[in-house]
Amino acid sequence: MLYLIGLWESVREFIATGGDVLYFVAAALFLMWALMIERYWYLTAVFPKVKSKIIADWDARKDTTSWYAHRIRDAWISQASDALNARLLIIRTLVAMCPLIGLLGTVTGMINVFETMATQGTSNARLMASGISMATIPTMAGMVAALSGLFVSSRLEAKAKMAKEGLVDSLPHH
């Protein structure tokens, strides 16, 4: 318990040093990871059952060679593809937004530096350093958040593409 309190204090100090923009970075990071975990769960636990049902429905059809049968097959593949790719665009968007939110923190931090220079003068180096720190930490946090999601989101997209191709290969069109 003492460890968690120490960890929480470290996070609070980090946010205090970097400014309130870090709350937005944290919110984007949390949403991005929640969506990525959901997609991973769908790909590993739910989609295999969906795929089995589609294959069973296709194998149960008497007609698998007519034009109508191929359109039904294409519709099933399209629906499965839509379900596989659901929320991947939102994840990619959140990955791209994290550095931009960090840059917003840079702008607000630099505004604080300029306000300090305007009110205190340029001789107070300590106040200027805290403003510059507030300007660089959100950028770093946004970049780290984006990098943490970049690899996983590209892996999820590749897994979704492979799952769709596996489904297509499992539905022979005679």
In tens, the pLDDT along 90-108 reads 999 999 999 999 999 888 8
- The whole-model pTM stands at 0.84
H or E element that contains 166:
helix 125-170
Amino acid at 154: S
Mean pLDDT of 50-61: 93
CB 167 within 8 A of CB 77: yes
What confidence category does residue 164 fall into, taking pLDDT thresholds of 50, 70 and 90?
very high
Of 43 and 126, the structure prediction assigns the larger pLDDT to 43
Residue 88 above 80 pLDDT? yes
**Cβ-proximal residues to 172 (8 Å cutoff; 6+ apart), any chain:** 64
Query: What 3-state class would DSSP assign to 124?
Result: coil
Length, in residues, of the chain: 174
Structure confidence at residue 122 (pLDDT):
67
**Cβ-proximal residues to 171 (8 Å cutoff; 6+ apart), any chain:** 54, 55, 58, 73, 76, 77
Neighbours of 130 (CB within 10 A): 16
Share of the chain above pLDDT 90, in %: 61
Mean pLDDT of 7-35: 88
CA dihedral 61, 64, 66, 67 (to 10 degrees): 100
CB 73 within 8 A of CB 171: yes
CB 54 within 8 A of CB 80: yes
Residue 1 above 90 pLDDT? no
